[in-house]
């Protein structure tokens, strides 16, 4: 059975203009899994994509050019991310679950 996919678009709308310009539509990865935010310079958007249970941040330029991966995590989820004021650093809040398994085996002997 095929899994349905969404045709996800991001609409950029001029809010400070009196003209009735049509919104600019950008293709966005349909696996987007979290916040969508502008990059500090305003020339792209950044968003998280969940692929095989792992979140990574992608950058989607507003000029329509190809999106690119900017983090390379192999496990865990990204809960939030924020840019430094100069746009040179990215801070992430990540969540990763770990657990230990301990096996107890009853040998049938009793302590005296």
Contact 81, 91 (CB under 8 A): yes
Number of domains in the chain: 1
Q: Which residues of 18-32 are buried (b: 16+ CB within 10 A; e: fewer)?
A: eeeeeeeebebeebb
6 inside domain = no
59 assigned to some structural domain: yes
pLDDT in tens, 53-75: 899 999 999 888 899 999 999 99
**Residue 17: inside a domain, yes or no?**
no
Q: What is the pLDDT of residue 28?
A: 83
Q: Confirm whether 110 is domain-assigned.
A: no
Question: Is the pLDDT confidence value at 1 over 60?
Answer: no
**pTM for the whole structure:** 0.73
Residue 83, strand partner residues: 90
Domain-located, residue 45: yes
Which own/partner pairs from 36-39 qualify as long-range (CB within 8 Å, at least 24 positions apart)?
Answer: 36/10, 37/81, 39/83, 39/87
Examine residue 102 and state whether it is found in any structural domain, yes or no.
no
Return the H-helix or E-strand segment holding 25. Answer: strand 24-27
**Domain boundaries, position 73:** 23-95
């Amino acid at each position: 059975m095929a899994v349905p996919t969404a045709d996800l678009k991001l609409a950029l709308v001029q809010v400070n203009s009196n003209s009735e310009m049509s919104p600019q539509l950008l293709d966005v990865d349909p696996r987007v899994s979290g916040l969508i935010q502008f990059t500090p310079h305003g020339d792209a958007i950044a968003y998280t994509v969940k692929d095989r249970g792992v979140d990574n941040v992608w950058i989607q330029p507003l000029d329509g050019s190809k999106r690119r991966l900017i983090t390379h995590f192999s496990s865990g989820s990204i809960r939030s991310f924020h840019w430094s004021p100069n746009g040179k650093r990215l801070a992430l809040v990540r969540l990763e679950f770990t657990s230990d398994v301990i096996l107890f085996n009853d040998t049938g002997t009793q302590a005296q």
